[in-house]
Structure 1
Amino acid sequence: MASFEQYPRDWNLWYTSSEPEHAPLPGEWENGCNELQKMLIVRSLRQDRISFCVTSFIINNLGPRFVEPPVLDMKAVKDSTARTPLIFVLSPGVDPTAALVQLAETLGMGRHFHALSLGQGQAPIATRMIKEGVKNGHWVFLANCHLSLSWMPQLDKLVEQLQVENLHPDFRLWLSSSPHPDFPIAILQAGIKMTTEPPKGLKANMKRLYQLVTEAKFSRCTRLVVYRKLLFALCFFHSVLLERKKFLQLGWNIVYSFNDSDFENLMSLYLDEYEEIPWDALKYLIAGVNYGGHVTDDWDRRLLTTYISDYFCEGTVNTPFFKLSSLPTYYIPRDGPQASYREYINLLPPVEHPEVFGQHPNADIASQISETRTLFDTLLSLQPQVTSSTATRAGPSREEKVLELSADVRQKVPAQVDYESTRKLLQDNPSPLNVVLLQEIQRYNSLLHTIRTSLTQLEKGIMGLVVMSSSLEEIFQCIHDARVPPLWEKAYPSLKPLASWTRDLGQRVEQFARWAETAHPPLLFWLSGFTFPTGFLTAVLQSCARQHNVSVDTLSWEFIVSAVDDNNLLFPPKDGVFIRGLYLEGAGWDKKNSCLAEVEPMQLVCPMPTIHFRPVENRKKIAKNMYSCPCYYFPVRSGGAGGPSFVVAVDLKSGAVPYDHWTKRGTALLMSLDN
């Protein structure tokens, strides 16, 4: 602390630098710390840079080969025998089928290569293929074993039989599977395992795609110039979709396994058949069918449509050096032979700026922080589960720590709300909002009861008074790691660590306790405090429909963002409700002009002013300058086991830029954060 006070300007410069791990530390810290201690300082102040520190630490101490992804070497087949299964461990965006077919052709096994994608009803065919392959010396490739887990025990037995049967020496069994805990360990131990990661970065992906495009494919259309420009745009589109997943929730709500088979190029057919370029047909074929077939989330589909409209338009073929991004480096090069396109790709920067994807530089920080968390969660999970006697002498044991934390949580957990007296108080007024209040009280009381009971049982288990069941073991481990036990997350999803989750629970219960006590709804509703916010919003619409004697189906929302502080909101609105406590991710808020604006550097979320949710009848279509902003219950936008995370779409003014700018930014409202 003394150093922060002594050198505030130097520390601020260090903190805001783009690469603090390479910047000298202020004062005496630079010479007083070794490499590991510097990493601890970066870990405390700039979590997003930890993966870079760890990488250079490994290179300096172990060597670079430990951080470079291995190249997939199909020649492993030479080291294998007919008894050894060859297993591809899949990662998103990688499909080894094409490389395997090529290898079979090269080694003269093309006519004896048989592939099958596993799934429902494919088990008998797979069994027959293996038996025939053993006899006749075929190569058998069973793809996507993770989609047929129920058949894996039988496959395990078949692989076991291979060890004792008489086999044709040319027989090989190839398997591919995504990592899954239920994949048989015996097969993994018996086989040769291979894995490959898709190349990282836009440049590497485009280089790889242009290697897949043969000279025949490159010039198979009668309208060559138009075709080659569109082919380049398609390569860029494919690479952007693949690379966008590095931004996690700001990239895609759900991670899709787009792969090379989606890059099936059918454009030449359309260009040869039509005089005018059929833009709508091309866009539908690419974004609606080839790639859109993977996409299951409506907001992700909107993003896909935005990208395809940007890259496939009249400008793509008519404007020289058509820009594919707001950065000057990325454009469609002058037409020429395939080598000239490859040459242009080689000149692209090796690491792309987030703006290429339409993202803010902050998007990189968010994904790097998430990577750091995953790294530390993995390290925590590798900690020894049993306390050794030497460690006990050094400080309190695991059991003592958990007992202390458990007592602390029990003390901070709020008391239950009196459901019966609230029900009696409200029985003369069964309005939709009062029904919601009673349901919320029931859910929270049930959760509070579960927490207290499980903590009491855990303390008894640690003292040896009851047997430690597997569920108590899980609670013990979670409390030790300061995580929320899954048993407590049944009421509502959250990513908060245990301490802030407990504080948040107290605030949630307090909102309903006060409402129950006064029998008056609050002036400002904290929407995040509801376990079922969609039910609450429906109740508001129902109340309005009864009040104005209209059908609830004709009502929808209008959103008015407050321009004044919450202290100045003294009376509830005539129609609808005031909602507070939302956060904007992927954008900032311009209070003066009441519209979306660019976020400040290193500010990952921005608190949103109170919004008036006002029910209106037969609402007009959304205006051009409005961005339909999805609002999610918690940062995992795809939802969890409890259901979807999406709650409502809030229309916000898009400000000085078109609304699709915010679509590419991944801008959304969040009801709760992860800390």
Structure 2
Amino acid sequence: LLFGLCFFHALIQERRKYGPLGWNIPYEFNDSDLQISCRQLHMFVCDYAEPPLDALSYLAGECNYGGRVSDSMDRRLIMSLLGKFYNHQLLSDAEYKFTDSGLYGLPVSTEFDACIEHIKRLPMNPRPEIFGLHDNADITKEQNETSLLFNQILKTLPREVAGASDSQQLIEEISSEILAKLPGAFDVDDAQLKHPVLYEESMNTVLIQELIRFNVLINVITESLKALLKAMKGLIILSAELEEVFDSMTLGKIPQMWLEKSYPSLKPLGSYITDLLHRITFLQNWIDSGTPSVFWISGFYFTQSFLSGVLQNFARTKQIPIDHLTLNFLVTKFGPHEDSIEPPPAGAYVKGLFLEGARWCSESHSLAESHPKILFAELPVILFMPVKKAESSSASSASASTYSCPVYKTLIRRGVLSTTGHSTNFVLCIDLPTDREATHWINRGVCALCQLNT
């Protein structure tokens, strides 16, 4: 147990190098966490004929190490990882292995010298499997390190572009191109006439709220670019805010002024504008053609309002209090790019989610291991079906094994903690069928994303 605890301490420290795939928030675990856990382990082993593993797991996972953990998904992960080292099989099997490959396991003898020799024989460069991760995690880690290196190099470079055109001319061209592509603000009054606020249709309210939010963003982008073009021509003063817009555009990044009024995004400037235009098109089609049969969940500014709209429609139709409802999830056989899909009788079809750390197998209709070198896999259309909470609980207990997969808006996963205890980057958890233990996917760091970085 002591060897397993020390191994666990090293494991959770090293998981930080994998970024959000390792931990949503990189915690500063230190030696005091290990020392108090060791003292508690010594006390319980000496005082009880059989070590109370549940108590030891709670103290180490929830109190000592877990006391630093503020994210609910990270807390779930730390208990799952600790379960590899605090279990009855470890006590009863002298050849217990921590991984399927058998490279990592218990020392043959508990003598100090034997433990040191065992540790020396461990691989110098640990594979992702010891952390519970897929081999693709190494690719993700190296991409993150490369991106960080290049971002630091960019900060040291002068703001001049080699060639005939200097940086000012380049920014003028980019600004003019964005202004030409970007449509004007939505006509909210016209949209309200076509989609009036109705008791029977909450999605009309969701649409109007989305239009108002996007109008604010469109106006900020448009006005800042127009002001920047005037400033570069010497017509107005180049303020600190406009200078920040200029510098960010030079580096191909989203200006902070835009991000303050924008939905969360980690995309570079060009991809961000393309994504924004897709979202605007999605909403314009909704205005012109009516409520879509399949909702592009990535296209919403505030995704939680859409989820509330789905629940509210069902609650008003069935005359049930909305706080008695929850969502069930059914992964359909419809591909994410199919057009001829009829709307469901209740609930909503949703597309636009990407799995990280796993993929969806349509043959077995369950989660499966990622293909080598493929970091993300798009999910099929999913039915979000409102049900009573009591019915959902009984159905979950009777159904096959599922993994409660967290959904995040961006790849970074972490965000500001809200009063609900969830990150502002967190959307909800969807239950996905699996033929393996849920802890396998928890250790893999599997999640669904509304948008990628590219």
TM-score by length of 2: 0.93
- Structure 2 residue aligned with 1:429: 198
Contact conserved, 1:326 with 1:356, CA < 8 A, in 2? Answer: no
- Structure 1 residue aligned with 2:362: 591
- Structure 1 residue aligned with 2:90: 316
- Structure 2 residue aligned with 1:347: 121
- Structure 1 residue aligned with 2:293: 523
| Offset, 1:569 | 4.7
State which of 192, 207, 217 in structure 2 corresponds to 1:447: 217
Contact conserved, 1:325 with 1:357, CA < 8 A, in 2? Answer: no
CA distance in 2, matches of 1:540, 1:553: 13
CA distance in 2, matches of 1:324, 1:428: 57
SS of 2:95 mapped into structure 1 = coil
CA distance in 2, matches of 1:371, 1:289: 32
- Report whether the alignment pairs 1:645 with 2:418: no
SS of 2:68 mapped into structure 1 = coil
What letter corresponds to residue 217 of structure 2 in structure 1? Answer: L
User: Structure 1: any 5+ residue segments left out of the alignment?
Assistant: 1-229
- Structure 1 residue aligned with 2:315: 545
| Offset, 1:568 | 6.9
- Structure 1 residue aligned with 2:100: 326
| Offset, 1:497 | 0.7
- Structure 2 residue aligned with 1:378: 152
What letter corresponds to residue 258 of structure 1 in structure 2? Answer: F
CA distance in 2, matches of 1:639, 1:428: 32
State which of 185, 191, 208 in structure 2 corresponds to 1:416: 185
Deviations 1:183-242 (A, max 9, x none): xxxxxxxxxxxxxxxxxxxxxxxxxxxxxxxxxxxxxxxxxxxxxxx1100111001100
Contact conserved, 1:493 with 1:640, CA < 8 A, in 2? Answer: no
SS of 1:311 mapped into structure 2 = coil
State which of 493, 502, 517 in structure 1 corresponds to 2:264: 493
| Offset, 1:511 | 1.1
- Structure 1 residue aligned with 2:347: 576
- Structure 2 residue aligned with 1:395: 164
CA distance in 2, matches of 1:514, 1:576: 20
Deviations 1:539-595 (A, max 9, x none): 110110000111111111111111134537531001100001110100011011211
Between structure 1 and structure 2, the one with the greater Rg is: 1
What letter corresponds to residue 658 of structure 1 in structure 2? Answer: E
- Structure 2 residue aligned with 1:536: 306
| Offset, 1:326 | 1.6
CA distance in 1, matches of 2:442, 2:417: 26
What letter corresponds to residue 437 of structure 2 in structure 1? Answer: P
- Report whether the alignment pairs 1:258 with 2:18: no
- Structure 1 residue aligned with 2:393: 620
- Structure 1 residue aligned with 2:131: 357
Deviations 1:370-395 (A, max 9, x none): 1111111111110124x4xxx77x42
| Offset, 1:434 | 0.8
Contact conserved, 1:630 with 1:668, CA < 8 A, in 2? Answer: yes
State which of 594, 599, 602 in structure 1 corresponds to 2:373: 602
State which of 537, 556, 566 in structure 1 corresponds to 2:326: 556
Contact conserved, 1:590 with 1:597, CA < 8 A, in 2? Answer: yes
- Structure 2 residue aligned with 1:238: 9
SS of 1:312 mapped into structure 2 = coil
SS of 1:574 mapped into structure 2 = coil
| Offset, 1:405 | 1.1
Decide whether aligned partners of structure 1 residues 474 and 428 sit closer, same or farther in structure 2, where only a CA change above 3 A counts: closer
| Offset, 1:336 | 3.7
- Report whether the alignment pairs 1:291 with 2:291: no
| Offset, 1:486 | 1.4
- Structure 1 residue aligned with 2:248: 478
Contact conserved, 2:53 with 2:87, CA < 8 A, in 1? Answer: yes
Contact conserved, 1:525 with 1:580, CA < 8 A, in 2? Answer: yes
CA distance in 2, matches of 1:292, 1:473: 43
Q: Identity of counterpart residues, as a percentage?
A: 36
State which of 234, 246, 249 in structure 2 corresponds to 1:464: 234
State which of 381, 384, 407 in structure 2 corresponds to 1:631: 407
Higher relative contact order (CA 8 A, sep 6+): 2
CA distance in 1, matches of 2:360, 2:63: 36
What letter corresponds to residue 179 of structure 2 in structure 1? Answer: R
